[in-house]
């Protein structure tokens, strides 16, 4: 099976780590994949990419064209791609009613399948073509390490409690202000804050293991990989109730869910600190990732089956 991934190449390391991880997991399933990277920001670069992709497709045959995010999907559709599969994230479906309107009327009708990351996203789009398939986490890359040794390797202060905000704090939708004000309201001087901003993906596992509490305070998400990666490392987690996070963490020991306000976030962070200091410095979340079939291998196998269903349906239709 030959599949072309169409995705933006504007991240710190080029194509996003989520896309790269999915490529790797599909290749392990025996899928032949190439990546068409849309480089440069702004509408002009996306428009130019339509013609570049059309030219590329004339010289290369693919059974599936899998685009990631809405803008890349428009490029794939307008370039005349066949058997388009679109993966939409929380920023596509949840951020804007206007963008969601365009997705409903100019993406879904022209795709064989639209993949979203949570049930709430599917409900918002209300289409039979939409399937829920979260991104998987690579359990060979994300796994528990000794926290003290990880701190020592990174030269982190051993007498501090290290809180990780697993994103770029300047991104408005990640809502760093909520966490910052909550930490300020607690008023402890033994808390040290770290970020996952422009960090090579190969270093993330070490940083996760050195962290004592991982805090995600986003305004919206689909199925955040930061949470699943922290779960794979058995870290204590505080998160707003976004995307599929409540389904992953609700009623679990070492998980603390907060509303989007400083008072509740502060109180939940105090509970997380108490759990770390008086109960346990780790969790058993990794077992839940496996039980929920959220490893990258398990998700890749499901995605391959979706591809095969599309091709089988096309074959059966051609015989009629």
Ramachandran sector of residue 254 (left: φ over 0; alpha: ψ -120 to 50; beta: rest): left
Question: Which residues neighbour 262 within 8 Å (Cβ) at sequence distance 6 or greater?
Answer: 178, 181, 182, 185
Q: Is the pLDDT of residue 81 over 90?
A: yes
Residue 117 reports pLDDT greater than 60: yes
Q: How far apart are CA 248 and CA 293, in angstroms?
A: 12
Q: Which fold has domain 147-291?
A: Rossmann fold (3.40.50)
What pLDDT, on the 0 to 100 scale, is given for residue 201?
A: 86
- Residue intervals of the chain classified under CATH 3.40.50.2000 are 2-135+295-319, 147-291
DSSP 3-state of 174: helix
Tokens encoding 249: 């963490």
State the pLDDT at residue 90.
85
- Give the model confidence (pLDDT) of 270-306 as tens digits: 999 999 999 999 999 999 999 999 999 999 999 999 9
Domain 2-135+295-319 in CATH 3.40.50.2000? The answer is yes
Distance CA 156, CA 150 (A): 9
Mean pLDDT of 203-215: 98
Q: Tell me, what's the pLDDT at 11?
A: 60
């Amino acid at each position: 099976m030959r599949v072309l991934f169409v995705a933006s190449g504007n991240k710190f390391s080029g194509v996003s780590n989520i896309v790269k991880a999915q490529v790797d997991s599909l290749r392990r399933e025996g899928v032949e994949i190439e990546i068409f990277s849309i480089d440069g920001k702004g509408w002009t670069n996306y428009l130019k990419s339509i013609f570049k992709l059309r030219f590329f497709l004339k010289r290369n045959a693919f059974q599936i064209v899998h685009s990631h995010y809405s803008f890349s999907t428009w490029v794939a559709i307008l370039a005349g791609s066949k058997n388009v599969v679109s993966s939409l994230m929380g920023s596509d479906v949840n951020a804007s009613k206007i963008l969601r309107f365009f997705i409903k009327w100019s993406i879904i009708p022209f795709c064989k399948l639209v993949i979203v990351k949570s049930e709430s996203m599917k409900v918002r789009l209300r289409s039979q073509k939409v399937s829920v398939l979260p991104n998987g986490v690579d359990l060979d890359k994300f796994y528990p390490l000794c926290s003290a040794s990880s701190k020592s390797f990174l030269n982190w202060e051993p007498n501090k409690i290290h809180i990780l905000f697993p994103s770029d704090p300047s991104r408005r939708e990640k809502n760093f202000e909520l966490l910052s004000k909550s930490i300020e309201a607690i008023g402890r001087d033994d808390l040290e804050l770290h970020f996952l901003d422009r960090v090579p993906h190969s270093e993330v596992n070490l940083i996760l293991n050195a962290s004592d509490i991982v805090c995600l305070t986003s305004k919206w998400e689909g199925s955040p990989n930061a949470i699943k990666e922290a779960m794979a490392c058995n870290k204590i987690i505080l998160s707003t109730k976004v995307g599929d996070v409540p389904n992953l963490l609700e009623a679990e020991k070492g998980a603390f869910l907060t509303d989007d306000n400083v008072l509740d976030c502060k109180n939940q962070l105090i509970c997380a600190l108490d759990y770390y200091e008086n109960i346990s410095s780790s969790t058993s979340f990794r077992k839940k990732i496996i039980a929920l079939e959220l490893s990258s291998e398990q998700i890749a196998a499901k995605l391959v089956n979706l591809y095969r269903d599309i091709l089988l349906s096309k074959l059966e239709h051609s015989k009629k």
